[in-house]
Structure 1
Amino acid sequence: MDLSDTQHRLLAYLREHIARHGYPPSQMEIARAFGFRQNRSARHHLEVLAQAGLIELATGRARGIRLTGPGTAGTPGDGLLQVPLLGRVAAGQPIGSDPEVRRELTLDPSLFRLRPDYLLEVEGDSMILDAILPGDLIGVHRTPQARHGQTVVARIEGELTVKRLDTGGAEGNGGHLRLLPRNPAYAPIEIDARIVDFAIEGLFAGLVRPG
């Protein structure tokens, strides 16, 4: 199927947007970027790209666009990931968990060192020396186990935080642990896992920085 100049530019725009933000644009954003007066003009061009086998469109979703054609970003054979954004995590003092799914993002697997099970929005600046900034969306690989020095999402008395894990020689789940910030303005969080409600929720898998 022959594509118009607008449709070629739209395909390039979709690829660039997903590579930069980790998720596709909405039809409203497409209309604004291309100067369309109505969203249905954006929908028409998207449907042409879908008929050409270059994208897939999911019904009932504001950002339900998935790249499928040649040049699609992602790990060969894996395709793009659909990852739920569940809520917030503190990079500072722990904050209450917010487990409801806010939305799903379509993401390139190459953004992550581990496969993310979900995303959390970072609140606070205690991890800035590890380039984890307020507003970043961090991928979390769900696991109850972690090694010394790994960056983890931990639950302390029902509240979540992202920090580096310092086991201090503790064995298993018992003993004394510390959660280390990566900002000298913050003190480590001291944990006695024998008496505090504490759990590792998962490992930091990578991040997406909204534009």
Structure 2
Amino acid sequence: MEPHTDDSPRLTARQQQILELIQSTIARTGSPPTRAEIAAELGFRSPNAAEEHLQALARKGVIELLGGISRGIRLKSETLQALHTSRIKGIGKQFDLPLGVSSEMLALPLVGRVAAGYPILAQEHIDQVYNVEPYMFSRRPDFLLKVRGMSMRDAGIMDGDLLAVQKTTEAKNGQIVVARLGDDVTVKRYRRTKAGIELAPENPDFDTIHIQSDEIDFALEGVAVGLIRNTMLM
């Protein structure tokens, strides 16, 4: 018997598996999986099978699919709220979110232009503060950053989106990070190699940034833990 609540649609066991995989991948890397990654993880013969299940989840209103983007999968805020409520009620481990249970709103500063040599959360960098629900994120964020440009398009991160960031100076390979290069703050996928650090875009129109170990104007500011549309905060 499948656990469910009045707030969430009834899912098949396979659909629940895919939903769990999407959640865990976002929590681990900052972006959703590709169809090929879903197929490989769950033993499907082809990405087409994963696509069929994703379409079913989209029809049930659990996720949103962005056309033409390999990682264009979004968990809807209503889905995250239903999962969060299910966890509070102790219903089923498939509704277990990485974020700790809390009914308190988060006060998150929106970081604007960053000046070199100053902490990213310095008061002069804060444009405003938003109060948001904690269930919207895979882990508790420390600040929001407005995305500029389309270099992370294929990870489903668009110009104008608000990236939720957990502040840290360390990251794992494959995570989406916020890094500072002098006066510029960039959102990229992090990789550490023998030659140094690579900040890779998710759009073939943009080049990978290569950081040598002796470059002193580089700083890792945090890792992505969620993404929201600016209109959700109105």
Question: Is contact 2:146–2:161 with CA below 8 Å preserved after alignment?
Answer: yes
1:175-209 CA distance string (max 9 Å, x none): 51110000011110111021342111001111110
Report which of the two structures shows the higher radius of gyration computed on alpha carbons: 1
Question: Is contact 1:88–1:122 with CA below 8 Å preserved after alignment?
Answer: no
What SS class does the counterpart of residue 154 from structure 2 fall into? helix
2:189, 2:143 → 1: CA distance? 19
What SS class does the counterpart of residue 160 from structure 1 fall into? strand
Aligned counterpart, 1:207:
227
Code of the aligned partner of 1:199 = A
Q: Structure 1: which 5+ residue stretches go unaligned?
A: 1-18, 21-73, 90-96
- Structure 1's 105 and 190: CA in aligned 2 closer, same or farther, altered over 3 A? same
Taking the TM superposition and a 5 Å limit, the aligned residue runs for 1:80-91 are: 80-87=105-112
Question: Is contact 2:102–2:134 with CA below 8 Å preserved after alignment?
Answer: no
Equivalent in 186, 192, 197 of residue 167 of structure 1 = 192
What SS class does the counterpart of residue 102 from structure 1 fall into? strand
Q: CA deviation at 1:75?
A: 6.4
2:152, 2:145 → 1: CA distance? 14
Q: Structure 2: which 5+ residue stretches go unaligned?
A: 1-76, 79-98, 115-119
Aligned counterpart, 2:156:
131
Q: CA deviation at 1:139?
A: 0.9
1:27-63 CA distance string (max 9 Å, x none): xxxxxxxxxxxxxxxxxxxxxxxxxxxxxxxxxxxxx
1:178, 1:77 → 2: CA distance? 36
- Structure 1's 145 and 76: CA in aligned 2 closer, same or farther, altered over 3 A? closer
Aligned counterpart, 2:42:
none
Aligned counterpart, 2:170:
145
Code of the aligned partner of 2:151 = S
Equivalent in 111, 117, 130 of residue 105 of structure 1 = 130
1:144, 1:76 → 2: CA distance? 25
Code of the aligned partner of 1:127 = M
Identity %: 38
- Aligned pair 1:122/2:147, yes or no? yes
What SS class does the counterpart of residue 110 from structure 1 fall into? helix
Q: CA deviation at 1:100?
A: 2.2
Taking the TM superposition and a 5 Å limit, the aligned residue runs for 1:6-21 are: none
Moved more, 189-198 or 131-140: 189-198
Taking the TM superposition and a 5 Å limit, the aligned residue runs for 1:10-49 are: none
TM value normalised by structure 2: 0.50
Question: Is contact 2:113–2:125 with CA below 8 Å preserved after alignment?
Answer: no
Taking the TM superposition and a 5 Å limit, the aligned residue runs for 1:193-204 are: 193-204=213-224
Question: How many residues were matched structurally?
Answer: 128
Equivalent in 196, 200, 203 of residue 176 of structure 1 = 196
What SS class does the counterpart of residue 135 from structure 2 fall into? helix
Q: CA deviation at 1:88?
A: 5.2
What SS class does the counterpart of residue 129 from structure 1 fall into? helix
More strand by share: 1
Aligned counterpart, 2:179:
154
Moved more, 141-150 or 79-88: 79-88
Question: What do you get for the CA RMSD once the two structures are aligned?
Answer: 2.3
1:124-155 CA distance string (max 9 Å, x none): 00001111100001111000011111110001
